[in-house]
Structure 1
Amino acid sequence: MHETNLAKLDLNLLVALRALLAERHVTRAASRMGLTQPAMSHALARLRVVLGDPLLVRKRAGMTLTPRAQELAEPLERVLADVSKLLAPPERFDPARSTRTFRIASSDYVELVLMPAVLARLWREAPNVRVQLRTLGARGADEIDDEGIDVILGPPASSDADRSDVVMQKLITERFVCVVREDHPTVGKRLTLERLLALPHALISPHGDEQGGIVDTALAKLGKHRTIAVEVPHFLVAPFLVERTDVVLTLAERVARALGPSVRLRVLPPPPELRLPGFDISLVWHERHRADPAHAWFRSTIAAVAKKL
């Protein structure tokens, strides 16, 4: 069976073929395409070679189509319609009609602080979209290589800056606060460094880092250390431990505020001597999604919600 080498085929020949089949006349087909008559004659000659058929033949009253040319008319229209659709710009995304599933890799911080408001906004505009949340691991932006992940929401990793194929957008800048139970017996209105060091501490360590946390780094610069009485992997567990014990916990301020109605805690600024740095939450996505209108809407919705937090 003879197969045409598509790599060597000029697709403009198919447009010329449609004009020739419609007009059954070289000069009129040339005029229809805005070509000269010699240029259309050359196109017809090339088509005859490619298709192995004369296509147009002379008769007493002009020219007529060969049986092969007649057979080509209908499939040719379908092919050109498909090519036109293939090359057309993407259709305007309509959130109200979308049934797309978006997949997010995120931390429990994001799930508590950001996602309730994001989901409420998403479903107001797109009631039929689905969202799947996956736990964000330690690989940072490398997790975006998983084909199923649309965006990452979390603190940027140190290696993320090396990725030229991902886009990062800062959404939230967070700071740390200290929390103790509402009726703590030894903590007053202000948490001094001396009192902080005297208290047992809870540590949130998502990856079980034995080197301690940001407070330990700050204390080391002052030549001091604290007593860690309990270590947990999740943001959401620790405040409930604080409520029932005398431990002090350092955590993100928005988490403390979000849990305030559910847990009887007092929120206090850390001792100023610690100079605790905050952290950022970024929206990370792969360049392959840049021209996807649904993905662009999804990203802009998340960013708009985060801006109001």
Structure 2
Amino acid sequence: MRFDGLDLNLLVALDILLSEKNITKAGEKLFLSQPATSAALARLRDYFEDDLLVQIGRSMVLTPMGESLAKPVKDLLIQTRTLLNNRHKFDPLTSDRTFTIMASDYTGSVLLPELNRKLAEYAPHCSIEQIMPSSEAEKQIQRGNVDILLLPSVNIIDEHPSTEIFNDEFVCVMWDQNSLSNKEMTLQDYKNAQHVMVRLGTIYNTPMIDDWLIRNLNFERKVGYVTINFSSVPLFLIGTPYIAIMHKRLADIAAKHLPIHICQLPWETPKINIYMQWNKFQETDPGLVWLRDLIMETASYL
């Protein structure tokens, strides 16, 4: 189908080419050979009268025209997909849709297991794919690569709709035989101890929540261990003098199975607010409207 002289099938190719900035990788996503992908790019260059992508050294970069097209084309495709999804009423009993949710292992442990149980009951043929947060969370929701973000309020962007679904508080956690478990922890105790910290894989250099909590205390923590997810923190406390900051809901889950001690932090800490966010162009997608309602229902029981 053509619109104003452009084969609309090429818009999908344009979107992926502008995102990947690599003909081979774009071809893999389009299920096209490299020559066929190059031919598609040539047709796009001819239509827009611009190179769109140019080779500089070993990399390809977008021209100013390519940069200006990237977001509008992505938005147009998201809107088109939502329009097509709106053709039919979403039936959870018969749909086989896969929903993609970006959430940390914290939210994955606290909320998603119950959500999965509800999904199995209400939408037995649907499934959830959880994706770990990355430094490109904002881009992932804007590009429509994920259906839902479940992240702290500090990671939510203003451009797209969001709503708070639950909150939590922070506690100090240690092995239940740690000498500090028998006393009320002081700020000096906290400063003197060695710590288990979290750094999430692709956002290793991004400050985690414990960095945010202690930023006004003006001291450098002694790091005993750095782990790559929140749920593994208690395992690295057992048999050590280490301590850690944890979300209370997650710490309570761990304490049911592991010999850990939970206590209050020796200073006032703000709560953490977990938000749900989705792309504004998917506001009326029937399947996502249903999923968002199910997430809200599940979170209300926490």
Which interval holds the TM-score relative to the shorter structure? 0.5 to 0.7
8 A Cα contact 1:179 1:268, kept in partner: yes
Structure 1 pair 116/219, CA: closer, same or farther in 2 (3 Å)? closer
Deviation of residue 244 (structure 1)?
2.4
Give the root-mean-square deviation of aligned CA atoms. Answer: 2.7
Match status 1:192 vs 2:189: no
Percent identity between the two aligned chains: 23
For the 8 Å contact 1:141–1:284, the answer to whether it is kept is no
Rg comparison, structure with higher value: 1
1:105 is matched with: 102
Which one of the candidate residues 221, 237, 241 is aligned to 2:236?
241
> Partner amino acid for 1:302?
I
Work out whether 1:155 is the aligned partner of 2:149: no
Matched, 1:178 2:177: no
Q: What is the rounded CA distance, in whole Å, between the counterparts of 2:214 and 2:102 in structure 1?
A: 32
**Residue correspondence of structure 1 range 218-237 to structure 2 within 5 A:** 219=214, 221-237=216-232
The letter for the 1-side match of 2:129 is: Q
Native 8 Å contact 1:171 1:281 kept in 2 = yes
* 3-state DSSP of counterpart to 2:184: coil
Question: Could you tell me whether the CA contact under 8 Å between 2:96 and 2:126 is conserved in 1?
Answer: yes
Q: Distance in 1 between matches of 2:210 and 2:127?
A: 38
SS at match of 1:231: strand
The answer to whether structure 1 residue 122 and structure 2 residue 115 are counterparts is no
Q: Secondary structure at the match of 2:189?
A: helix
Deviation of the 1:113 alpha carbon: 1.0
Residue 201 in 1 paired to residue 208 in 2?
no
1:101–1:189 distance in 2 versus 1, CA, 3 Å: same
Amino acid at match of 1:257: D
Q: Verify the 8 A CA contact 1:172 1:282 in the aligned structure 2.
A: yes
Q: 1:106 deviation in Å?
A: 1.4
Deviation at 1:155, TM superposition (A): 1.8
Conserved? CA contact 1:215–1:276, under 8 Å: no
C-alpha distance in 2 between matches for 1:119 and 1:211: 29
Q: Distance between the aligned counterparts of 1:228 and 1:276, measured in 2?
A: 21
Report the AA paired with residue 90 of structure 2.
F
Question: Measured at CA, do residues 213 and 295 of structure 1 come closer, stay the same or move farther in structure 2, by a change above 3 Å?
Answer: closer
- Cα distance change, pair 103–249 in 1 and its aligned pair in 2 (3 A): same
Which ranges in structure 2 are unaligned for 5 or more consecutive residues? 5-82
Kept after mapping to 2: 8 A contact 1:216/1:226: no
Aligned to 2:301: 308
Q: Work out whether 1:140 is the aligned partner of 2:133.
A: no
Range that drifts further, 240-249 or 202-211: 202-211
SS at match of 2:167: strand
- After superposition, what is the alpha-carbon deviation per residue over 1:88-107, rounded to whole angstroms, capped at 9, x for unaligned? x7544321122111111111
Q: Which residue of 1 aligns with 2:247?
A: 252
CA distance in structure 1 between the partners assigned to 2:153 and 2:136 by the alignment? 10
Q: Is contact 1:203–1:232 with CA below 8 Å preserved after alignment? A: yes
Kept in 1: contact 2:93–2:125 (CA 8 A): yes
Q: CA 1:193–1:258 in 2, change beyond 3 Å: closer, same or farther?
A: same
* Secondary structure in 2 matching 1:120: helix
Aligned to 1:52: none
Aligned residues: 220
Q: Distance in 1 between matches of 2:251 and 2:301?
A: 17
Change (3 A) 1:119 1:194: same
| Aligned equivalent of 1:293 | 286
1:136-187 deviations in whole A, cap 9, x for unaligned? 11233321133341111112445712xxx52111112221100011121343
Distance 1:205 1:245 in 2: 20
- Alignment correspondent of 1:51: none
Distance 1:289 1:199, change over 3 A: same
CA distance in 2: counterparts of 1:105 and 1:159, whole angstroms: 12
Distance in 2 separating the partners of 1:226 and 1:188: 22
Structure 1 residue 287 displacement after superposition: 1.6
- Give the letter aligned to residue 94 of structure 1: D
Between the aligned partners of 1:159 and 1:150, the Cα distance in structure 2 is 14
Output the CA distance in 1 between the equivalents of 2:147 and 2:206.
Answer: 32
